[in-house]
Amino acid sequence: MRSVVNSLRVRGACLLAVLLASGMVLVACSSGGKRSTTPSPTKSVTTSPPPPSVSVGKGAPAQGQAGCTVAACRFVVVTTENFPGSVTCQITQAYPNTNGFLTWTQGGNETKQSPNYYGFPGKGITVECDAVSGSTTW
């Protein structure tokens, strides 16, 4: 397990902080800032990873694709962040309906152009990846 170690002196107290790869931070202090051969009291703090998120945006032009005759027609781009692994994504809300959209898989921290395109300016579209949603207005 890899860890990052920082030690510093603050107002006479010796402080040692260790950030473990698991996200756990260990902090140890000794009285008077002097090194001790006896263990100092320690405090453990576990930091939570940031929550998964999904962002939706516009990709390459799709005008000329089946059913897409306006310049506003573009492929849907999705960015996933902080998922532990690959996710399955789908468009769950769109005007006038969600018929015909394909599901796709992408990495848990990836920006990917989906196989789907959309072209209704001013209308919303929502993408869900493993129960986390993101939306935008086209």
Q: Give per-residue pLDDT as tens, 15-30.
A: 455 555 555 555 555 5
The model's pLDDT over 46-89, given as tens digits with 9 standing for 90+, comes to: 889 999 999 999 999 999 999 999 999 999 999 999 999 999 99
Share of the chain above pLDDT 90, in %: 66
The neighbour count for residue 121, using CB atoms within 10 Å, is 11
Integer Cα distance of 19 and 132 in angstroms:
29
Would you state the structure tokens that stand for residue 100, as one six-digit string?
């015909």
Structure pTM?
Answer: 0.68
